[in-house]
């Protein structure tokens, strides 16, 4: 049986998940490179809410203070129906009591840049779109569209919903008759999203950004299949997202248009401008000097507004041979990265192909349940903005939920707080204990074996 001294990892995809995995591998001393299909870093996207489910990992990486400096405390989301007063508020202040960590809203570009700074420049290769993948001689060999080639022991697909690694992996399994039927179906495609972030705004002219807490304002379209949200940031900018819920007919049309434009989940600038034109009159409730979405569009450089598609699916096949996949979506992908980094670290010095198979099986066993839970939660959230009877019921329940039910929901949302076992141990805080992470336990045991002096100190 083949043995190897240590794994060399190729990460395909330089998004948040790929960069987070790279930062963890950098700390663990595991050799790696990142291949990113785009030629330059483009600060795109809206905002992301990050709290106790990720902040302990940032603490382990020594990035907690840096993260807090770019984030803005977030305690509630105000939700209203277009043209009405505030319908209800989702309050997240209890997260601090439950976990010891508050919640922050951070612009994706700022978070991306923070993670990118953790990766030595020579380990990130831009303009490297994966073209072919071949496994031979105990290696995985990757060829990119520009003719470059790279070789390693493990290939991680961190390149999004339309992952080139996933496509190549699934093609190989399909030819062998080993790909589950569910993984052969098209990705569900029911939403398009317009996302962006304004330039820094004058707090005196736009008092909304001067508020010490993040102003998270969501509006549900009254007679239209849209919802939109704005979030203030620590940089005095406003992030925004406009979600267009599609029916089956418009979903197919939009998907065909997107595939004709590009080979990933983002349309070009003309499609973004068209969606801006369609939605610029949408009102912003409580936006002070910002009355409509058009006000935000006009304050945002056009190249920083993008139209993306929103697809969600939990695949059954997560790995094959020397290829393994991270989930799509920032939170899921970063949690996946932590578990995968633990298991790569815990591989024995002369690991075998069987050891690799077991590690990938353990990775899926740990991450599949929370990934499915995240998918179901997202589906429920989407239900709340649908123009349907079930959507009306979901909104009514959210508006009139009893306090005990909301506390139960919040506790469930913060139980998954993974750590890595090869960095300093962060003690659990708060009143809700985190779920046990098997990969962390395994990596911690290996770390203690390899570093008995450090552990005793």
The residue out of 310, 337, 365 marking a domain boundary is 310
Query: Which pTM does this prediction carry?
Result: 0.90
Instruction: Give me the chain's average pLDDT, please.
Output: 86
* Domain membership flag for residue 287: yes
Residue 432 · residue 98 · CB < 8 Å = yes
Q: Are residues 247 and 369 in the same domain?
A: no
Residue 238 · residue 296 · CB < 8 Å = yes
189 vs 185: CA distance, rounded Å: 12
Domain containing 134 — which CATH number?
Answer: 3.50.50.60
Q: Are residues 223 and 237 in the same domain?
A: yes
The residue out of 284, 310, 336 marking a domain boundary is 310
* Domain membership flag for residue 92: no
Higher pLDDT, 269 or 145: 145
- Asked whether residue 457 carries a pLDDT value surpassing 60, the answer given is no
178-187, 199-208, 252-261: range with lowest mean pLDDT: 252-261
- Asked whether residue 5 carries a pLDDT value surpassing 60, the answer given is no
* Domain membership flag for residue 408: no
* CB atoms near residue 53 (< 10 Å): 23
75 vs 73: CA distance, rounded Å: 7
Q: Are residues 158 and 232 in the same domain?
A: no
Beta partners for 192? 244, 309
* Domain membership flag for residue 7: yes
Exposure string of 102-123, with b = 16+ CB inside 10 Å and e = fewer, is: bbbbbbbbbbbebbbebbeeee
Q: What is the mean pLDDT of residues 125-148?
A: 92
Q: Are residues 358 and 434 in the same domain?
A: yes
- Asked whether residue 86 carries a pLDDT value surpassing 80, the answer given is no
* Domain membership flag for residue 144: yes
Q: What is the mean pLDDT of residues 337-363?
A: 94
The residue out of 293, 310, 327 marking a domain boundary is 310
Domain that holds residue 141: 3-70+107-184+313-385+415-456
Q: Are residues 26 and 167 in the same domain?
A: yes
- Asked whether residue 351 carries a pLDDT value surpassing 80, the answer given is yes
Q: Are residues 129 and 59 in the same domain?
A: yes
- Asked whether residue 142 carries a pLDDT value surpassing 50, the answer given is yes
Q: What is the mean pLDDT of residues 116-138?
A: 93
- Asked whether residue 393 carries a pLDDT value surpassing 90, the answer given is no
Number of domains making up the chain:
2
Q: Record the tokens describing residue 343, joined without a space.
A: 């298991």
Q: What is the mean pLDDT of residues 385-408?
A: 71
> Which segments of 61-197 does DSSP mark as H helices, in order?
64-70, 94-99, 108-116, 164-175, 181-184
pLDDT at 390: 63
């Amino acid at each position: 049986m083949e043995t190897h001294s240590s794994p060399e990892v190729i990460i395909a995809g330089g998004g948040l998940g790929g960069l987070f995995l790279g930062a963890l591998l950098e700390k663990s001393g595991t050799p790696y490179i990142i291949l990113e299909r785009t030629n330059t870093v483009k600060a795109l996207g809206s905002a992301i809410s990050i709290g106790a489910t990720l902040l302990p990992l940032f603490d382990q990486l020594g990035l907690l203070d840096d993260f807090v400096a770019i984030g803005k405390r977030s305690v509630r989301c105000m939700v209203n129906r277009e043209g009405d007063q505030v319908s209800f508020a989702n309050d997240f202040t209890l997260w601090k009591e439950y976990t010891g960590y508050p919640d922050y809203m951070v612009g994706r570009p700022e978070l991306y840049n923070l993670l990118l700074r953790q990766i030595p420049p020579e380990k990130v290769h831009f303009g490297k779109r994966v073209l072919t993948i071949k496994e031979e001689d105990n290696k995985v060999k990757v060829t990119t569209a520009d003719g470059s080639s790279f070789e390693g022991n493990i290939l991680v697909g961190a390149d999004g919903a339309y992952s080139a690694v996933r496509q190549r992996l699934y093609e190989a399994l399909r030819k062998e008759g080993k790909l589950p039927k569910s993984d052969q179906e098209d990705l569900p495609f029911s939403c398009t999203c317009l996302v962006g972030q304004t330039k820094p705004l004058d707090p005196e002219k736009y008092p909304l950004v001067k508020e010490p807490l993040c102003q998270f304002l969501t509006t549900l379209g009254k007679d239209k299949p849209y919802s939109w949200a704005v979030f203030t940031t620590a940089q005095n900018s406003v992030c925004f997202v406009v979600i267009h819920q599609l029916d089956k007919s418009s979903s197919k049309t939009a998907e065909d248009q997107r595939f004709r434009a590009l080979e990933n989940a983002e349309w070009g600038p003309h499609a973004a401008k068209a969606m801006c034109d369609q939605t610029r009159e949408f009102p912003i409730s409580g936006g002070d000097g910002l009355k409509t979405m058009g006000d935000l569009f006009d304050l945002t450089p056009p190249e920083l507004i993008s139209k993306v598609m929103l697809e969600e699916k939990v695949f059954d096949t997560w790995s094959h041979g020397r290829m393994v996949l991270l989930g799509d979506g920032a939170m899921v992908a970063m949690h996946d990265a932590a578990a995968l980094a633990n298991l790569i670290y815990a591989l024995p010095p002369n690991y075998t192909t069987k050891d690799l198979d077991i590690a990938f099986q353990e990775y899926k066993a740990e991450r599949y349940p929370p990934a499915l839970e995240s998918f179901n939660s997202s589906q429920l959230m989407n239900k709340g903005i649908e123009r349907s009877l079930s959507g009306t019921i979901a909104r009514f329940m959210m508006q009139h939920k009893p306090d005990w039910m909301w506390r139960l929901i919040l506790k469930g949302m913060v139980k998954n707080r993974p750590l890595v076992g090869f960095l300093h141990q962060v003690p659990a805080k708060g009143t809700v204990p985190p779920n046990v992470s098997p990969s962390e336990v395994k990596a911690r045991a290996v770390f203690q074996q390899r570093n008995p002096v450090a552990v005793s100190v």
